[in-house]
Amino acid sequence: MADTQKPVVDYALCMACGICATECPLSCIALRKTDIDADPKAYPVLDDYYRCTGCTRCEKACPVNAIRMA
Amino acid sequence: MVDLTKSTFEEIEIPDAIYENFLSGVGLGAYILYKYIPKNAAPLGPDNILGFISGLLTGTGSFMTGRWMVVTKSPLTGGFGDANCGGNLSPSIKHCGYDGIFFKGKSKNPVFLFIDNKGPQLIDASKLWGQDTVDTEEQIRTMIPHKKSLSIATIGMAGENQSLISGISHDGGRMAARSGVGAVMGSKNLKALVLCGSRLIKSQNPEVIKTISQAYAKKVKASNLPGMATGAFLPIMGKSMVATDKAIPLDGMMSTAIMKKWGTGFGNTMNMPMGDSPVKNWKGSVLDFPFSKYRNMNPDRVQKHEIKKYHCYSCVIGCGGICDIDKVTNGRFPLTHKPEYETVAAFGALLLNKDLDTIFLVNELLNRGGMDSISAGNTIAFAMECYEKGWLSQTATGGLDLTWGNAQTIITLVEQMIAGTGFGAVLQHGVKKASEILGIATDSFAIHAGGQEPGMHDPRLDPILGIHYSCDPTPGRHTIGAGSYYTYMRLWESVTWAPKVKLGEDKKEEYEASSQVGLKSMANACIKQVLDGSGGCLFGMIGGLNHFKIFDYLNAATGWDKTADDYMSIGLRMQTLRQCFNVREGINPRDFKMNDRLSGFPPLTKGPLRGKSFSMKDMMSIHYQFMGWDRNTGIPTKQLLEELGFCDLDMEVINHG
Q: How many domains does chain A have?
A: 1
Of B412, B411, B359, B409, give the one whose Cα is nearest residue B384.
B409
Same domain? B117 vs B181: yes
Chain A residue numbers touching B309 (CB-CB < 8 A): 16, 33, 40-42
Same domain? B506 vs B631: yes
Mean pLDDT, range A58-66, rounded to an integer: 94
Q: How many domains does chain B have?
A: 3
Distance to chain B for A3, nearest Cα, Å: 23
For chain A, the first-to-last Cα distance in angstroms comes to 13
Same domain? B532 vs B567: yes
* CB contact (8 A) between residue B313 and residue A22: yes
| Domain membership flag for residue B452 | no
Same domain? B389 vs B513: no
Q: Which of B196, B218, B239 is the last residue of a domain?
A: B196
Q: Provide the pLDDT for residue B242.
A: 83
Identify the burial level of A23 via C-beta atoms within 10 angstroms of its C-beta, where 0-12 means exposed, 13-18 middle and 19 or more buried. Answer: buried
Does residue B653 carry a pLDDT above 80? no
Query: Closest to B149 (Cβ–Cβ): which among A13, A17, A27?
Result: A27
B60 close to A (CB below 8 A): no
| Domain membership flag for residue B602 | no
Complex ipTM over 0.85: yes
Q: Residues of B100-119 as b/e, b for ≥16 C-beta within 10 angstroms?
A: bbbbbbbbeebbbbbbbeee
* Domain of B536, in residue numbers: 463-593+615-649
Find the DSSP H helices in B545-591.
550-558, 564-584
Are the CB atoms for B164 and B430 separated by under 8 Å?
yes
Q: What is the pTM of this model?
A: 0.96
Query: Cβ–Cβ contacts within 10 Å for residue A65, how many?
Result: 13
Q: What is the CATH number of the domain that holds B408?
A: 1.10.569.10
* pLDDT band per the 50, 70, 90 thresholds, residue B146: confident
pLDDT in tens, B19-33: 999 999 999 999 999
Same domain? B383 vs B247: yes
Query: Closest to A18 (Cβ–Cβ): which among B148, B209, B313?
Result: B313
Q: What is the CATH number of the domain that holds B561?
A: 1.10.599.10
Query: Closest to A18 (Cβ–Cβ): which among B92, B220, B311?
Result: B311
Nearest residue in chain B measured CA to CA from A28? B148
Same domain? B431 vs B568: no
For chain B, give the mean pLDDT: 94
Chain B residue numbers touching A19 (CB-CB < 8 A): 61, 91, 313-314
Pick the residue with more confidence: B248 or B262? B262
Of B270, B249, B263, B237, give the one whose Cα is nearest residue B544.
B249
Q: Provide the pLDDT for residue B429.
A: 97
Are the CB atoms for B394 and B401 separated by under 8 Å?
yes
Interface of A with B in 29-48 (CB under 8 A): 31, 33, 40-42
* CB contact (8 A) between residue A18 and residue B314: yes
Query: Closest to A42 (Cβ–Cβ): which among B198, B206, B308?
Result: B308
Calpha distance B8→B481 (Å, rounded): 40
Are the CB atoms for B444 and B391 separated by under 8 Å?
no
Same domain? B408 vs B556: no
Nearest residue in chain B measured CA to CA from A30? B149
Q: What is the CATH number of the domain that holds B30?
A: 3.60.9.10
DSSP states of B340-353: PHHHHHHHTGGGT-
Calpha distance B378→B137 (Å, rounded): 28
Q: What is the CATH number of the domain that holds A41?
A: 3.30.70.20
Amino acid identity at B247? A
Q: Provide the pLDDT for residue B249.
A: 80
Same domain? B192 vs B214: no
* CB contact (8 A) between residue B316 and residue A27: no
Are the CB atoms for B42 and B515 separated by under 8 Å?
no
Query: Closest to A17 (Cβ–Cβ): which among B206, B210, B314?
Result: B314
Q: Which of B394, B415, B445 is the last residue of a domain?
A: B445
B45 close to A (CB below 8 A): no
Q: Residues of B619-630 as b/e, b for ≥16 C-beta within 10 angstroms?
A: bbbbbbbbbbbb
Query: In B74-161, which ranges are E strands?
Result: 80-85, 100-104, 111-116, 119-124, 151-154
Mean pLDDT, range B75-90, rounded to an integer: 96
* CB contact (8 A) between residue A22 and residue B316: no
* CB contact (8 A) between residue B220 and residue A61: no
Same domain? B184 vs B215: no
* Domain of A42, in residue numbers: 7-69
pLDDT in tens, B305-361: 998 889 999 999 999 999 999 999 999 999 999 999 999 999 999 999 999 999 999
In whole angstroms, how far apart are CA B402 and each of B418, B474, B561?
18, 31, 58
- Residue A58 CB contacts under 8 Å (≥ 6 apart), including other chains: A7, A20, A23, A24, A29, A44, A67
Q: Which of B381, B410, B445 is the last residue of a domain?
A: B445
